Amino acid sequence: MAQLEVREVAVQFGGLRALSGASLEVEAGQVTGLIGPNGAGKTTLFNVICGIQSPDSGSVVLDGQDLGDTKPYRRGRLGIARTFQRLEVFGSLSVHQNVLVAAEIHRRGRSESPQSVADAALERVGLAHVRDERVDSLPTGLARLVELGRAIACQPKVLLLDEPSSGLSEDETDAFAALLGELTDDGLGILLVEHDVALVMSVCARIFVLDFGQILASGTPDEVRAHPQVQAAYLGNMPVDAA
């Protein structure tokens, strides 16, 4: 059984069908990719999974349980965490405070102290050396890691990352790919939305391609890369050996 399942989700904004019957699965201990052109519906699908956006039809299933109209904060407690396409951090707070806020919110029912959860999350994403810096004084690459650290401090089962590598240098992107591998080794399931196709191809076990609100193709990186419709819709300009 997949850890997270999205089943036939449809979302309409006025006359626009942002999602029409999109389904995908995220397995524990793997990075699953979600790619597709601008406006395909990727962020909308994240919002549906998190409970910020109610679908017109379809369902989100976590560990075999249909989440129905479960509120976003409850979904967080059940183990769904995310980062945002536009960086969402508290700029005037320190790195440590940003992560501690998340650990405090999710402390209920846990034996570990929020402090030790926050410290472990900072250690995990490699930010211990800047823990007392204000976040708005950090370069983008480190600020993105703060957001990731905060998501990890929720101790999620499934982590949704919306374009996490935007604003990262090539070296930072390589380090980020390695970090994703470490997180999945710990059993976390990751759903990665990303326009950096080379990154997606290198870290994902499975990739879903979304186009006009529908899943156009899914499979291993090699299968997706070879798919003719995917080539036409999305990968047209990508060199074949980009991975």
Ligand X SMILES: Nc1ncnc2c1ncn2[C@@H]1O[C@H](COP(=O)(O)OP(=O)(O)OP(=O)(O)O)[C@@H](O)[C@H]1O
Residue 232 binds which of ligand X, Mg ion, none (CB < 5-8 A, kind-dependent): none
Q: What is the closest distance, in whole angstroms, from the C-beta atom of residue 185 to ligand X in the complex? A: 28
Among 3, 30, 43, 47, binds Mg ion (CB under 5 A): 43
Per the CB < 8 A criterion, the answer to whether 11 and 39 are in contact is no
- Binding flags for Mg ion, 69-88, as an x/- string (CB under 5 A): ----------------x---
Residue 134 or 195: the one with the smaller Cβ distance to ligand X is: 195
Residue 17 or 77: the one with the smaller Cβ distance to ligand X is: 17
In the chain the first and final C-alpha atoms are separated, in Å, by: 29
Instruction: By CB under 5 A, tell whether 53 contacts Mg ion.
Output: no
User: Where does this chain bind ligand X (CB under 6 A)?
Assistant: 13, 16, 18, 36, 38-44, 85
Residue 99 or 204: the one with the smaller Cβ distance to Mg ion is: 204
Residue 42 or 131: the one with the smaller Cβ distance to ligand X is: 42
On the 0-12 / 13-18 / 19+ scale of CB atoms within 10 A, 222 is: exposed
Q: What is the closest distance, in whole angstroms, from the C-beta atom of residue 134 to ligand X in the complex? A: 28
Q: Give the footprint of Mg ion on this chain (CB under 5 A).
A: 42-43, 85
